[in-house]
Amino acid sequence: MASNAPVGKPTDMSSPRLPKVAGIDSTVPAPPHTVAPLPGVPSAAPPSDAALPPGVLIQDRLASWVSDLTTLHELTERLIKTDSLDGALREMLGAGAALVGARRGMAVLEPADGLGPTSTIGLGLAHADLGTIETVPRGSGSYGRLLDGLSEADPPGAGLPGNGPTAPRRPARVPEPIAIRDVRTEEGLDPRHREVAARLGYAASYALPLATEEAGRLGAAVWLYDEPAEPDERRRHLIGLYGRFATEHLARLLQVERARARVATVAEELLPSRLPRVPGVRLAVRHLTGPQGGGDWYDALPLPEGALGLAVGSVSGTGPSALAAMGRLRASLRAYAVMEGEDPVAVLSDLELLLRLTEPARSATALFAYAESAQRRIVLAGAGHAPPLVVGDHRTEFVETSLSAPLGMLTCWEAPSVELSPAPGETVLLYTDGLLRRTGDATDRAFARLHAAASSVPRADRSDPGAVADHVLRTLLPGGLDPAVEGEDVVLLAARFE
């Protein structure tokens, strides 16, 4: 019946509507400034989306934004999983190539402060190709222009009063990206630039500064097109957002890399710069350290009456504090070894007392050997340390040492020493626990693997203690010591008796 038909507002509400997106009503009136075409003049063909309802346009735009945000989220998630400068640069290059629509590219890491490190990474370019690109005069190449432009910018804090450690920083000026749509027709390019582009087969490039106002200049990236092209406004926007995030991530990795380098330098300075030369004994050492630097150490020092002191040890903890404790412990052991080195038990007892008095919260392991090379006689004692391994043509066996607690664990440390006489041509291996634990095996299996590795040293290499140490390391740790993986250091000291 007519009386039951809906009228007024209910009729409007029941009319067909496009679905809502993100809470936005898809029924949007036409813009008020839209005017009808002039009479008698044919109207221009509307854009492809002009005939679509306004709600569909909004949905398309929202879908495009969501797609872009999803892409950036996925790419940045992949980037933050990288933990090295080289890995981050390679990931950034690949992601940037996808964003700008290129196939090849290169990234140049060149921090503005000049403290390094510097490197050049290629995507789809061989090492020789990178060298060819670097022959282009720096002022003509797009990445070179970006780096030089950033170099000429004011350094942070320049021109401000009280320029010092607490002075406010002036944000660095960041230049705009450089797009060369067609290398053949671009004005102002050096002829060498066109020649290299023709040789490598690229026709256009897009260069992005790896710099932000806070991080300053870290470098630049350039992507190469096979045909004349340049990214549109949307792609430029996306690569700009990604580039800023990548630069901040690279800045953090740069700080970590420099910190690791400083720790490694300190560790090297705290250890012997070279091994002594003692008649009748040939020495070799291998020291592998983790990213934060551990407390593993070694020493070899000449003692009175032609004797030789050999020591390896490990201090609990990592980082600068462990390195400092390691340096103090090693220096103390050297002093005790000079005074009473012929008695290794007395040396370690004095060391234990010093550790308890000066650093009661820290423990350490140590092994000290007093060697008389002329008599091929060794007296040694260990505190919580793994037993040495003797490697020769006729035997490969661990030295039977007494069990004892690490230094700093007992109120009074003392354990009996042991004596051994290596045969001519035999090598004694002293090592830290890190060599066993880095294998990832249980202790008994790690010892068995170490014994098997030492037994398998080729006969031709047994006359060289360095070759013996290298073979053992390659066998136990075939992939080497990953510097990005936290873990204990590895020390392997080899002494071959003639």
What does the pLDDT look like over 216-237, one tens digit per residue? 889 999 999 999 999 999 999 9
How far is the first Cα of the chain from the last one, in angstroms, to the nearest whole number? Answer: 118
pLDDT tens digits, 330-373: 999 999 999 988 999 999 989 988 888 888 888 889 999 999 98
Lowest-confidence region among 1-10, 374-383, 453-462? 1-10
Number of Cβ within 10 Å of residue 107's Cβ equals 26
The answer to pTM > 0.85 is no
Q: What percent of the chain has pLDDT over 90?
A: 51
Task: Quote the pLDDT of residue 129.
Answer: 95
Half-sphere exposure of 26 (CA within 13 A, CB side): 17
The SS3 of residue 119 is strand
pLDDT at 438: 87
C-alpha angle 111-72-49 in degrees, rounded to nearest 5: 130
User: In the prediction, which pLDDT does 12 show?
Assistant: 40
| pLDDT higher at 352 or 45 | 352
Confidence of residue 434 (pLDDT cuts 50, 70, 90): confident
Which domains, ranges and CATH numbers included, belong to the chain? 63-153+172-263 (3.30.450.40), 271-497 (3.60.40.10)
pLDDT at 27 over 50: no
d(CA 316, CA 314): 7
User: Which residue reads 């936290």 in tokens?
Assistant: 486
d(CA 287, CA 259): 19
Q: Please, which pLDDT band fits residue 49 given cuts at 50, 70 and 90?
A: low
Best mean pLDDT range from 160-169, 256-265, 359-368, 479-488: 359-368
Buried b (16+ CB within 10 A) or exposed e, 457-476: beeeebebbebbbbbbbebb
Amino acid of residue 256:
V
Residues in the chain: 498
Instruction: Yes or no: say if 343 and 297 are a contact pair by the CB < 8 Å rule.
Output: no
% pLDDT > 70, the chain: 81
Q: Bigger pLDDT: 35 or 446?
A: 446
Give me the pLDDT at residue 485, please: 57
Contacts of 296 (CB under 8 A, 6+ apart): 287, 289, 312, 313, 314, 315, 326, 432, 434, 488, 489, 490, 491
Give the rounded distance of the alpha carbon of 482 from its chain centre. 10
Residue 471 has pLDDT above 90, yes or no: yes
For 74-129, what is each residue's pLDDT tens digit?
999 999 999 889 999 999 999 999 999 999 999 999 998 888 899 999 999 999 99
pLDDT at position 291 over 70: no
Interatomic CA distance for residues 101 and 204, integer angstroms: 12
Task: Return the pLDDT at 221.
Answer: 96
Q: What is the per-residue burial (b if ≥16 Cβ within 10 Å, else e) of 285-300?
A: bbbbbbbbbbbbbbbb
**Confidence category of residue 50, pLDDT binned at 50, 70, 90:** low
What rounded mean pLDDT belongs to the chain? Answer: 82
Answer whether 210's CB lies under 8 Å from 217's CB. Answer: yes
**Closest to 352 (Cα-Cα) out of 403, 294, 412, 310:** 412
Contacts of 402 (CB under 8 A, 6+ apart): 415, 416, 418
Which stretch of 161-170, 329-338, 477-486 has the lowest confidence by average pLDDT? 161-170
Asked whether the beta carbons of 371 and 495 are under 8 A apart, the reply is: yes
